[in-house]
Chains A and B, each alone.
Chain A
Amino acid sequence: MFDTRPASSSRPSLRSIRGRAAIVTAGRSAVGRVPGRSTLALACDAAKAALADAGIERGAIDGVLTSVAFAAPFHRFSVAFSEYFGIVPTFSNTLQVSGATAATMFNIAAAAVAGGLAENVLVLGADSLLTGLSPDLALRSMTESRDQQYEMPFGIPVANTFAMTAHRHMKEFGTTAEQFAKVAVIHREHAMRTPGAQTTEPITVDDVLSSGWVTTPYHKLDCSLISDGAAAFVVSSADRVGEFKSKPIYILGAGECYTHEHIFLMPSLTTTGAVQSSAKAYAMAGCTPSDIDVAGVYDCFTGTVIMMLEDLGFCPKGEGGRFVDDRQITYGGSIPCNTHGGLLSFAHPGMPGSLLHFLEVVEQLRGRCGNRQVLGAELGLVHSLGAGFATQATTILGTEATL
């Protein structure tokens, strides 16, 4: 167990990973519709971009952590990637806790370098959900994500589990369809400023509400994209960051929580394990939600963002809809979120999707976001989740000034 007391800011506890590891570089492949590139080729594009950005030699990578890929269904994607990329790591694993995998990879990479398992861990995710799925793989991706005995016989798509939580949120707190739609509108505004975003046409609340039902209360534009893409990072020990030419972004706090597997055993449909995962991360980082300058909040559906704003502590429970209505999640608001456009408008290549939130927050903390820069951003949070809120993971990141 990690020490859940606030860690000392000057001398990290041996039982905490606070400040003991840093993201020393980050990069991505092209995202969106990327035909003619295999999933492993996209993974290489991202890894090469990340290594080039910090002047890191391929041979310096001795650890590899990846998610799995639908379009390249290797049981050991991290191992298959290493072979393809021509490296022989001495630390590797392929992780799978659905959408939460992204944050868990950083948390585990930080622990691995802090604990001496590896020096430079490549954190990588890639998939080709838009152009790379054969018909059988596409079918499997739709039908095999829920339990075969107690869920799938009733025709429950994964979207349905998230929809039932959003629906209940409307019932309990009066959250409205217009407030959900506002989440999509703001994400699109963000994507319009981001080079390479998959969708950049402006949309209105009415566009969302008239985009057709997918599964109530969600319309088509309440749902995230389907994309190709990859992102890669290198996590290194904090005492080695001087070896790299890029600005290190430190991992300050980490937390996870797994409350259920089946949606019918979710303890509450409107309060999730993100409360516990983020509390653990805040305690380790020694900060509170109001200290965070910029956030990446998993946005597989519009209502997901509203619920997470509450559970991550950015607004009180039940206030998420009004918080979005007040434009608190964009520039000038209390917590700019998903300034790249998120899964809703930038790209959602499956499990790498949340890595793109990490990329954006890292770039914001490095001050490299140009006309979408959140001025003075020093402390960031990324929250990844998946499987109908079954899996939750939070990572808090900061510049050297926050150590």
Chain B
Amino acid sequence: MRRIEPKEAHIKPLPVPDADSQVYWDGLREGRLLLQHCNTCGHVQFYQQDICRHCGGEALERRAASGRGVVHSFSVVHRAPGPAFKQDTPYAVLLVELAEGPRMISSLVGGDPMAVEFDMAVELVCESINDQVVLPRFRPTGA
């Protein structure tokens, strides 16, 4: 992992794809949140990896998620983890349960962080950070 130096402290950490995840980050650049479906046992998993975590099988198929989910839990950050996120506070970190089953970490866009509730319906927003990176974020459904 690349280390963050103090002179870069104001820069938000961005994902550096690896051999497993390159296809996931490429998919987001095309507006698709890719999940893996196991053709052996039917398990659906997030994140992209080489084997099915449930049965150990290798026959995995990538399919785009619907982008719909609900807030399984959340926490509104008032004290940021470092200078890069300070100007964003308060912001809501979401533990989203996707309609397909897997959960993922994201954060809220386009809504009041203090108005987030359990089981609130949210939908995917592919947010371009730069030429290379698109982050999967979520907004209240219909917002």
Contact = CB atoms under 8 A, between A and B. Distances in A.
Contacts of B1: 144, 148
Given A143-B13, A149-B16, A150-B104, A213 B90 contact: yes
Given A144-B4, A263-B105, A157 B79 contact: yes
Contact of B135 (A139, A153, A214): A153
Contacts of A264: 46, 95, 102-105
Given A150-B104, A153-B135, A265-B103, A164 B75 contact: yes
Interface in A352-381: none
Contacts of B74: 164, 167, 216
A156 B12 CA distance: 11
Interface in A155-194: 155-158, 160, 163-165, 167-168, 171
B104 A156 contact: no
A269 interface: yes
A157 B77 contact: yes
Nearest to B129: A153
B105 A150 contact: yes
A265 B107 CA distance: 17
A135 interface: yes
A144 B3 contact: yes
A165 B103 contact: no
B93 A164 contact: yes
B17 A149 contact: yes
B6 A139 contact: yes
B81 A153 contact: no
Contacts of B79: 157, 213-215
Interface string B71-97: 011111111111011001011010100
Contacts of B4: 139-140, 143-144
A144 B8 CA distance: 14
Contact of B118 (A136, A143, A149, A171): A171
Nearest to B113: A216
A168 B72 contact: yes
B16 A148 contact: yes
Interface residues of A, number: 37
A269 B73 CA distance: 9
Contacts of A144: 1, 3-4
B14 interface: yes
A267 to B, nearest CB: 10
Interface string B103-114: 111110000000
B75 A153 contact: no
Interface string A214-226: 1111100000000
For the side of the interface on B, what is the size category? 35 or more
Given A139-B9, A139-B82, A148 B15 contact: yes
A262 B105 contact: yes
A76 B137 CA distance: 39
Contacts of A218: 75
Contacts, number: 117
Nearest to A218: B75
B91 A155 contact: yes
B30 interface: no
Q: Indicate the member of A139, A142, A154, A218 with the most B CB atoms within 10 Å.
A: A154
Contacts of B88: 155
B60 to A, nearest CB: 16
A216 B72 contact: no
**Chain A CB within 10 Å — which of B4, B74, B81, B88 has the most?**
B81
A135 B107 CA distance: 27
B112 to A, nearest CB: 13
B90 A156 contact: no
Contacts of A156: 77, 81, 93, 105
B15 A167 contact: no
Contacts of A155: 12, 77, 80-81, 84-85, 88, 91, 93, 107
Nearest to A270: B73
A28 B75 CA distance: 36
Interface string A254-269: 0000000011110001
A215 B75 CA distance: 6
B9, B91, B93 — most chain A CB neighbours (10 Å): B93
A142 B135 contact: no
Interface of A: 135-136, 139-140, 142-144, 148-158, 160, 163-165, 167-168, 171, 212-218, 262-265, 269
Given A135-B6, A264-B46, A264-B95, 15 more contacts: A139-B4, A143-B4, A143-B81, A143-B84, A149-B21, A154-B105, A154-B106, A155-B77, A156-B93, A168-B73, A215-B78, A217-B75, A263-B105, A264-B105, A265-B103
26 contacts: A139-B6, A139-B82, A142-B81, A144-B4, A149-B17, A149-B47, A150-B104, A150-B105, A151-B105, A152-B13, A153-B12, A154-B93, A154-B107, A155-B81, A155-B88, A157-B81, A158-B81, A160-B75, A160-B81, A171-B73, A215-B76, A215-B77, A218-B75, A264-B46, A264-B103, A264-B104
